[in-house]
Amino acid sequence: MPTLVLVRHAKADTPLGLQDIARPLTERGRADAVAAGRWLADHVAAPDLLVTSPARRTEETTARLLDAWGVEPAVVDEERVYEASLGDLLRLVRGLDADRPDAVVVLVGHNPGLSDLLEALTGEVQQLRTAGIAVCDVAGAWADADSTSCVLRTVHTARA
């Protein structure tokens, strides 16, 4: 059974004059992203595919997750994840085509989109906090992913 892991980026800074997409992680955010990576390495198989928003804060979070896993899966910077609507994220998930039936796909993005996606896929209402992780089992084809085919396995908020 495939696994979909949703990860909200860690705590980001808001420097004056910097565009939103260029916001870096704070010191706490960097530490929390490391903690998220350790938790994932202990609880979830290494990913086959990691899809991330092109925002700096998601890319910095992604790097720390991968360091902890110690793997180099295919990583895709996906424009649709930045400022994504629920419809954008559903189309992205339903368009996944993992080769293995037990594939692990990680999506690193932003709220409110990720929390909305989690609810749409599982029927569970959860607000992912920064460095929040939701692990979902996908029973069936990616193209059919919806609230009747995805089960929320666990939610975790990583803190250093």
Provide the pLDDT for residue 97: 74
Determine the Cα angle at 45 with ends 31 and 6, to 5°.
60
Q: Percent of the chain at pLDDT above 70?
A: 98
Sequence-separated (6 or more) residues with CB below 8 Å from residue 14: 23
Provide the pLDDT for residue 102: 81
**Reported pTM:** 0.95
CA 70, 21, 130, 75 dihedral sign is negative
pLDDT reading at 99 higher than 70: no
> 27-43 vs 56-69: helix axis angle to the nearest 10?
40
**CA 33/CA 10 separation, integer angstroms:** 6
Q: Average pLDDT, stretch 117-139?
A: 95
Provide the pLDDT for residue 156: 98
Q: Percent of the chain at pLDDT above 90?
A: 82
Q: Express each pLDDT in 48-92 by its tens digit.
A: 999 999 999 999 999 999 999 888 888 999 999 999 999 999 999
CA 20, 105, 91, 77 dihedral sign is positive
Confidence of residue 98 (pLDDT cuts 50, 70, 90): low
Which secondary-structure segment (H or E) carries 151? strand 150-157
**CA 36/CA 31 separation, integer angstroms:** 9
Confidence of residue 144 (pLDDT cuts 50, 70, 90): confident
DSSP character string of 90-125: HHHHHT---SSTT-EEEEEE-TTHHHHHHHHHHS--
pLDDT reading at 138 higher than 90: yes
